Chain A
Amino acid sequence: MKNLISMRDLSKEDIMRLMDTAAKIEKGEIVPNMQRKLAALLFFEPSTRTMFSFDTAMKRMNGDTIIMSGTGNTSAKKGETFADTLQTIAQYSDIIIMRSSIEGAARYAAEVVDLPVVNAGDGANQHPTQALLDLYSIIKTQGKLDNLKIGLAGDLRFGRTVHSLAQAMAIFGAEFKFISPSFLQMPQYIKDDLAEKDIKYEEFNDIEGNIDDLDILYVTRVQRERFADPEDYEKVKGSYVLNKKMLQNVKKYFKVLHPLPRVDEIHTDVDDTEFAYYFPQAKNGVYARQAIISILLEEV
């Protein structure tokens, strides 16, 4: 593995190696040493959580980071090409971790520079490190990745995390329930991918009544801004809010995941239940990202 750009590029073996490495790092069985290694965190699109998670991952391994957030303080504003910006930063660092609103930006970066490149999100396309930390959370709570029943709820149209996760879980023969407003359904190209792999999926408009047979419910935010008419949002928003009452008949090891930040799509009364796993999930992100960086820099 030279770069991490898209879940599409990863084999089942690659994913299991990452899972195994993350688990060993978490248990302290391996301690990658990134002393004198520098990660360039290029966040052309602002993000706090993903950026902090990578920053933490690097520093937990005794490595260091240089951080660029937004394009305000770069030469991009002066008309420098993206390729030149990347080639310059590549002179300073050992690995480039980047987020951009431009789709395909990380793939292009990997063509331009000789360093490993990690895609930390490119527009509505991919967010593979989030998918990998989600997989790590799933394997930790379910003991396996194969043949699980996964519900994805919320904005499935624009949410890159659910796209990457659906593709990743398809490799492991998952069955899906897609729960979203009609106009925020999973895009056809993702559904085509799943159909090609003979993966079963069903589509629903309500969380309630559709979660009792699931192993995992992955909730994302339905953003008010996506609705042309605010009244339409008010009409449907209740259908995508998970509360404690809905969890009465769920499976024993059922878990609720969320990429965070949460707004109001998971009621806080869920937080105290054994099913809430979104905060440990964020912590898993650090182990998953330590594993990704270590493998790409050949330190494990």
Chain B
Amino acid sequence: MSLVKTIKVNAIKNGTVIDHIAAGKVLKVIEILSLAGDNSVMIGMNLESNKLGRKDILKIENRELTKKEVNSIALIAPSATLIIINDFEVVNKSSLEIPEYIEEHIICPNPKCITNIEDIPSKYYIHKAGSVTARCVYCEKKYLVEDLKIKV
């Protein structure tokens, strides 16, 4: 991490860094992770990035994300990098990958879809060609992922 970036967003001792979030998307990531609990959270927005031009970054102290949370974040920040920090050291770094199939995390926007009428989890197939879209297994409607409400 460069000196400039360290000054802009402080390092954390233990926890998770989500780097290379497309600029403007960090608030949606925060919403998904419901970051209103005990963890210290640091946010950087619209920072310069070699990879993206501009990026957002999120640092969450003393928290590791579940697979479900990672899948949800991948949907809205597919360019992001997930970094696990232990005692100020990077112990794991991975690129997020959009899953091809996802259960529960998407709220189907179609009010007539059975997932909004019966108490059953939504199921979506994700299509990555061109704009990332998601098709509901049940009502078969297709949506741009960026237009969907994601939950964990």
Which A residues are closer than 8 A to B by beta carbons?
Answer: 6, 8, 81-83, 101-105, 107-108, 122-126, 189, 192
Contact = CB atoms under 8 A, between A and B. Distances in A.
Contacts of B139: 103-104, 122-123, 125
Interface stretch (B19-27, B37-45, B70-78, B110-118): B110-118
A101 B139 CA distance: 11
B112 A124 contact: yes
B112 A192 contact: no
A104 B140 contact: yes
Contacts of B118: 81-83, 108
A108 B117 CA distance: 12
B1 interface: no
Interface residues of B, number: 16
B113 A189 contact: no
Contact of A107 (B112, B137, B142): B137
A256 to B, nearest CB: 28
A81 B117 CA distance: 10
Contact of B113 (A8, A82, A83, A104): A104
5 contacts: A83-B118, A102-B112, A102-B114, A104-B140, A108-B118
Contact of A108 (B114, B141, B142): B114
Q: Is the interface of B mostly helix, strand, loop or mixed?
A: loop
The majority secondary structure among interface residues of chain A is: mixed
Contact of B138 (A82, A103, A192): A103
A189 B141 contact: yes
Contacts of B138: 103-104, 107-108
A124 B141 CA distance: 10
Interface in B99-151: 110, 112-115, 117-120, 136-142
A6 B140 contact: yes
B120 A123 contact: no
Contacts of A123: 112, 139
Going nearest first, the 8 A-B pairs with the smallest beta carbon separation are A104-B138, A103-B139, A104-B114, A189-B142, A104-B139, A103-B112, A123-B112, A102-B114
Given A82-B114, A122-B139, A192-B142, 16 more contacts: A6-B140, A8-B140, A83-B118, A101-B112, A102-B112, A102-B113, A103-B113, A103-B138, A104-B114, A104-B115, A104-B137, A104-B138, A108-B118, A108-B120, A108-B138, A123-B139
